[in-house]
Amino acid sequence: MKKIEAVVPASKVEAVASAILETGIGGMTISDTKGRGILERPVFASGRGTGAYRPAFNVNATIMVVSKDDLVDKIVEKILSAASTGATGEGKIFITDVAETIDIGSKKRGDSTL
């Protein structure tokens, strides 16, 4: 099993989540997150247009999915197709091994919990 974590701009979370669900997985976890990469953050006008504000972090979403190994490539392709326009700073995807999963309600273990 693998855990796939995709950090994407908040504006793309709905499109990415819908694309991931097309793979037939059972679900996902989405968290509102903030982050800071190498790109410059946008400047927003404040007050009556006389001031400017640059937030310390960008607003992102982190989507976490645990899947069977054979679905990883399909899920990654769905994330890339929904989130990527080819521009720098559109997020990251992290893939890690999962040793075991346990369903708390049924107390089942392994692939059957997905």
Which DSSP state fits 50? T
**Count of Cβ atoms closer than 10 Å to residue 78 Cβ:** 22
The domain in which residue 51 lies consists of 2-113
Beta pairing class for 29-35 and 92-97: unpaired
pTM of the shown model: 0.85
Number of domains in the chain: 1
- For residue 48, the domain's CATH number is 3.30.70.120
CA pair distance 101, 17, nearest whole angstrom: 22
Interval 26-42: pLDDT, tens: 899 999 999 888 777 77
What ranges in 22-71 are assigned the alpha helix state H?
none
Q: List the strands of the sheet with 58-67, edge to edge.
A: 29-35, 58-67, 2-9, 92-97
Interval 69-91: pLDDT, tens: 999 999 999 999 999 988 888 89
